[in-house]
Each structure stands twice: as structure tokens, then as C-alpha cells.
């Protein structure tokens, strides 16, 4: 009776659920890092960090993971630097698109974004090309 192992079914469901939770925890960890860099590691004085911690707790992120993310971002642990990058491009029909990305690797982010855009018949624009067209049309 192939495919009727209860343990195998539990293992696959748990693996899928853990992967989804891990993805959410990673995104929240990046948000924590950005908030710490902008306003410091103390949630009492950093409102953005306080909000992100509340979001993490709402997603059932363990306190240990939250504290580890704060320490990494403040430089107490190994230095992993997340940076915010703005990419510009053109979607189908010539619509200007501005995409803000948070990443620890500029090259990987550019490559992934280029892949997503080409898959949807869009393309990256040279830096500041579409922003200037957006500004000139807004005036």
C-alpha cells in the first residue's frame, strides 16, 4: 500500500509549514535590521522597531530570533548589511515602474528582478531614467 504512511504525510505537511514560517521570519528579520539601522537597537526609543517587533510577535516569531536579529543589525554579532535599493523599469505598454528592494546582495537582487521583469514582458531601465520621466510628467 504505497503512499499510505501516516508519518510521511505528517512529515511533508510539517516541512511545508516550516518552510512558510521560515520565509516569513526571514522577511521580518530584514525589517528588524532596517529599523535598527535607522533608529537604533532600543525599542523604547525606536518606534519603527517597536512596530516590527509587534509584527514579529503576531507572526509567532520566537523572542530568541527577534533578539538575534537586533544584535546582528546593531553590529554585536557578525555583520550582515542589508541595503535598500531602488530599481526602475518599464512594464508592458511603457508604464514606468519603481521597485524598492531590501537585500544583502546587490547582484543577486538585480538578477532576480531582471528575471521577474523579463518573464512579465517588462525591462529594467537605466538608473534614474524612469524617475525623471515620472517627475517631469508630474509637474
- Domains of the chain, CATH where assigned: 7-74 (1.10.10.200), 83-138 (3.30.70.980)
- Distance set, CA 5 to CA 10, 16, 18, 19 (Å): 9, 17, 20, 22
Q: pLDDT category, 126, cuts 50, 70, 90?
A: confident
Place of cell 550582515: 80
Please state whether the predicted TM-score (pTM) of the whole model is above 0.85: no
Highest mean pLDDT among 58-67, 73-82, 96-105, 113-122: 58-67
Left, alpha or beta for 128 (phi > 0: left; psi -120 to 50: alpha)?
Answer: left
Give the span between the Cα atoms of 97 and 130, in whole angstroms: 7
Residue 1, classed as helix, strand or coil, is coil
Residue-level pLDDT at 83: 82
For residue 139, pLDDT over 80 is answered with no
Give the span between the Cα atoms of 88 and 129, in whole angstroms: 8
Which own/partner contact pairs does 39-46 have at CB distance under 8 Å and 24+ positions apart? 40/74, 41/70, 41/71, 41/73, 41/74
Residue-level pLDDT at 92: 84
Q: What is the mean pLDDT of residues 115-128?
A: 83
Give the span between the Cα atoms of 56 and 66, in whole angstroms: 8
pLDDT digits (tens, 9 = 90+) for 83-117: 888 888 888 888 888 888 888 888 999 999 989 88
Instruction: Read off the C-alpha cell for 24.
Output: 516569513
Amino acid at each position: 500500500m504505497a503512499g499510505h504512511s501516516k508519518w510521511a504525510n505528517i512529515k511533508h505537511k510539517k516541512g511545508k509549514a516550516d518552510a512558510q514560517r521560515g520565509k516569513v521570519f526571514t522577511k521580518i528579520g530584514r525589517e528588524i535590521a532596517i529599523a535598527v539601522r535607522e533608529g537604533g537597537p532600543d525599542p523604547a526609543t525606536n518606534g519603527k522597531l517597536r512596530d516590527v517587533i509587534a509584527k514579529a510577535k503576531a507572526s509567532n516569531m520566537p523572542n530568541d530570533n527577534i533578539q538575534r536579529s537586533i544584535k546582528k543589525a546593531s553590529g554585536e554579532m557578525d555583520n550582515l548589511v542589508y541595503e535598500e535599493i531602488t530599481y526602475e523599469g518599464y512594464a508592458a505598454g511603457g508604464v514606468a515602474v519603481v521597485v524598492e528592494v531590501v537585500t544583502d546582495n546587490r547582484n543577486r537582487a538585480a538578477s532576480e528582478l531582471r528575471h521577474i521583469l523579463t518573464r512579465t514582458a517588462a525591462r529594467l531601465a537605466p538608473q534614474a531614467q524612469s524617475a525623471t520621466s515620472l517627475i517631469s510628467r508630474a509637474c
